[in-house]
Structure formats: C-alpha cells, structure tokens
Amino acid sequence: MKKIIYPEKKDWMEILRRPALNTDTLRNTVKEVLDKVKMEGDKAVREYEERFDKVKLDSLGVTETEIAEAEKEVPIELKAAIMLAQKNIHTFHSSQRFEGKKVQTVPGVTCWQKAVAIEKVGLYIPGGTAPLFSTVLMLATPAQIAGCKEIVLCTPPDKEGKVHPAILYAAKLAGVNKIFKAGGVQAIAAMAYGTESVPKVYKIFGPGNQYVTAAKQQVSLRDVAIDMPAGPSEVEVLADETANPVFVAADLLSQAEHGVDSQAMLITTSEKLMKEVEYEVQRQLALLPRWEIAEKSLASSKLILVRDMDEAIALTNEYAPEHLIIETRDYMEQAERIVNAGSVFLGSLTPESAGDYASGTNHTLPTNGYAKAYSGVSLDSFIRKITFQEINGEGIQNIGPAIEVMAANEQLGAHKNAVTVRLKTV
C-alpha cells in the first residue's frame, strides 16, 4: 500500500483515483458483445460463455432437477447461516415499506402516491472468482417483498456448466422465478434485450466487475433501467489513535480480496496507527487464501495520514467510498459529518463483512465515487411511486384560475381550455 503523508489539496484527485481498465478496450468489448447478443440471442450468449467462461452449454436455463440437487449439496450449517442472513435482510427491507398518505393541497384537491412493484426484474449475481450467493439474498429479498412478479437471475456457471449450489439454494429461498447460466456482458445483454430463453426485463440489478458495470451503463442509455453502477468493491477506514490496527487491517483486506481492481484506503490522524496497520496488512495478507488477488489490489490502495479530523472528513466526502468504516473515539459525531458514502460501519465491533452478509443492510452499493449521487439497493429500488390526484368542484374553482393564467402565459391554449370548459360547469 502506498503511504501518503499530509496530502496537499491539489493532489487529492490523483490520490483518490480508482484503478480502472483501459476504457477503449472495455468499451469495444462491451459493444461487440451487446450487439451480437441483441442480434443472435441464445446462440451468441452460448458462444461468449465458451469464450469468456470456458464452458460449452447446450441450454442456458437451470432446471428444477438442478435446483433440487443443489439443495441436497448445501451443508446444513451453511443453510442455517443463509436463513439467518435472509431473515435480517427481510426484517430491515420490510421496514422500508412505503405508506403513501393522501394530502389535500387545497380544499377539493387531493394528491397521493402509491408504491407499485416493477413487474419484471433481472438480477446479476457475480461468479467470476467467487460465488456470491449472499448477493442473491441482497437482491431477491427486496424484490420479493416489493412484489415483483417475474424475478430473473443470471450468473456465470463453472467450467462444468454448473451453478454453485448455494446460489441456487438462496435463489429458491428468496423467490427467484427463473435462473440462467450466463455471466458478464452477455448476461446483461440477454436480460436487457431478451433472447429465446432469457426474458427481457424492465430493470437490471446487481454488482459485477468492470465489464458488467460498463454493460449495465450502456444498456441503460435506451433499453432498460438499472439500479446503479456497482462495480469493483472498495472500502475506506477512517481511524484515529484509538483504533485497533488488527481490526483495521482485516477490514482493508476484506475488500481487497474481492478482485484485483478493488481498492482499500486508510485515512487516519495517527502516524502510529498507520505504521501498525501497514505491518498488520502484510502479516495478515500472507495468511489469506486469496492473497494473490488482495496483493494486486493493495498495489492501488493507500494509507493516508492527514493533519486533523476535519481534513479526514473532507477527504472522505470527496472519495465517496462504497463502504466507510469509522473507528474513532467519537465515531457517532464523525458519522454525522459524512455526506458521501454507500454504507457506513460504526465502531470497532462493526466489520464491513457484517453488512456484506448478515446485519440486514444491503451490500449492493455504488462504487467509483457514484455514492455522491446514488443510494445502494433498497426496497425503493424495486418499486415505482405512481402519483394520483382527484379534484372536485371546489378544488377546480380553487386552482383553475391559476392554471388558466399559467397556461395562457406559456402560450398553451389547449391546456387553458381543459380547465375553462370545466369551470363553466361548476
């Protein structure tokens, strides 16, 4: 990890830069795959599965038999953990239910909103280097609570053409209707355009690598809605001298191990802590099964020593991390000053892994600085709020004249007339 001591404001942008693939290569690959799947459907998806996931597939759909087999393969201990996590995710997301209340803006004019589920949703579950069955719970649980009728899931299979059993188990538990073996850009294209076997959906959800994220952004320009850009994982730990370096290092590594383009940052006011964390990261790294991945992402990760907490907060809000862990003496006060972050973890006993799996919050979150403008996935992501209004005689008399004046001044006579003809009758 690169050490930065007392950064100057002019260097912030460079210091906070995320690692990124060459955008031309990325754009060209994504465009080629999207276009071919749009034209050739399943055939193209199968070809790309062979090219990128090294698997020959006869069909894309997961069968009922495969789902039943998977249920037998998942160990009891893991089933219990998945059920505990799902219960907490369900509890937290159920509490987000929207109650639209009727409001009289003036006598006779009543307005309200009603939450309506998006009918067809597509969930992308990453599977390139780790089978993220926890992401199934994070996406399908709120979709089910919202009442989405068709919940489609795509995930890359392994080289034998099998989907990880825990992904299938979690999908069944959380009410997914259709599961397909497809990963990367080809999966996003299949759900955006529809193919012979994969239904076209109205909104695509889910995290993924830079190819997946770029594909989602591309299809969202005209074909389908998306949740947000949820790309390579990132974490920032904001710590003072009271933080535990062993915990801090473990938290940094927990996100560094996701992928080579993940990023982990420590922003601290304590030089002593920075040195201890630097040592701990190397010590713990050597013990990790995915040390090779983590080592690569640590190369673009940083340990940043700042002058004071004000500077730490300003730098944090500029970085807008996907995950922010605050491990300071006064973490509640510091948390109040955060305006840009996806999900915040407070105090020394709140690891980021808790939000990844089982505290109940959603782990599908904006990355790459998009936390400045986007929220993570929540129940809201799966609904739309339709507005309604009802006006009676008193109401049209109350607001009609104002509408007539405004419409006339916008030179829209037909708008004005739609009110005038009614005012004559009341």
Ligand X SMILES: NC(=O)c1ccc[n+]([C@@H]2O[C@H](COP(=O)([O-])OP(=O)(O)OC[C@H]3O[C@@H](n4cnc5c(N)ncnc54)[C@H](O)[C@@H]3O)[C@@H](O)[C@H]2O)c1
Q: What residues act catalytically?
A: 322-323
CA distance 122 to 382: 11
Residue 380 counted as an annotated binding residue:
no
3-state secondary structure (DSSP) of residue 35: helix
Cβ-based nearer residue to Zn ion, 240 or 356 = 356
End-to-end CA distance of the chain: 74
By CB under 6 A, residue 132 contacts ligand X = yes
- CB neighbour list of residue 345: distance below 8 Å, 6 or more residues apart: 323, 324, 325, 326, 351, 352, 354, 355
Q: 365 is written with which tokens?
A: 């979150």
By CB under 5 A, residue 240 contacts Zn ion = no
By CB under 6 A, residue 232 contacts ligand X = yes
Whole-number minimum distance, CB 333 to ligand X, in Å?
A: 28
DSSP annotation of 99: -
By CB under 6 A, residue 381 contacts ligand X = no
CB 189 within 8 A of CB 160: no
139-168 residues in contact with Zn ion (CB under 5 A) are: none
Hey, what's the torsion of the CAs at 49, 291, 131, 199, to 10 degrees? -40
Q: From the list Zn ion, ligand HSO, ligand X, none, which binds 156 (C-beta under 5 to 8 Å, kind-based)? A: ligand X
By CB under 6 A, residue 185 contacts ligand X = yes
Encode burial over 41-79: b for 16+ CB neighbours within 10 A, e otherwise: bbebbbbbbeebbebebeebebeeebbeebeeebeeeee
Query: Residues 356, 358, 370, 400: which binds Zn ion (CB under 5 A)?
Result: 356
CB 186 within 8 A of CB 49: yes
Cβ-based nearer residue to Zn ion, 377 or 383 = 377
CA distance 393 to 367: 51
CB 132 within 8 A of CB 156: no
Residue 410 counted as an annotated binding residue:
yes
By CB under 5 A, residue 322 contacts Zn ion = no
Cβ-based nearer residue to ligand X, 236 or 322 = 322
Cβ-based nearer residue to ligand X, 61 or 147 = 61
Q: From the list ligand HSO, ligand X, Zn ion, none, which binds 134 (C-beta under 5 to 8 Å, kind-based)? A: ligand HSO
CB 188 within 8 A of CB 216: yes
Binding site for ligand HSO (CB under 6 A): 132, 134-135, 233, 255, 322, 356, 363
Q: From the list ligand X, Zn ion, ligand HSO, none, which binds 306 (C-beta under 5 to 8 Å, kind-based)? A: none
By CB under 6 A, residue 367 contacts ligand X = yes
Q: Which of 193, 219, 195 is nearest to 206 (CA)?
A: 219
Whole-number minimum distance, CB 21 to ligand X, in Å?
A: 9
CA–CA–CA angle 279, 284, 287 (5° rounding): 140
Bridge partners for 57 per DSSP? none
Annotated binding-site ranges for substrate: 233, 255, 258, 323, 356, 410, 415
Annotated binding-site ranges: 124, 186, 209, 233, 255, 258, 323, 356, 410, 415
Kindly list the residues in this chain that would bind Zn ion in the complex (CB under 5 A): 356
Kindly list the residues in this chain that would bind ligand X in the complex (CB under 6 A): 29, 52-53, 126-130, 132, 135, 156, 183-185, 207-209, 211-212, 230-233, 258-259, 262, 322, 363-365, 367
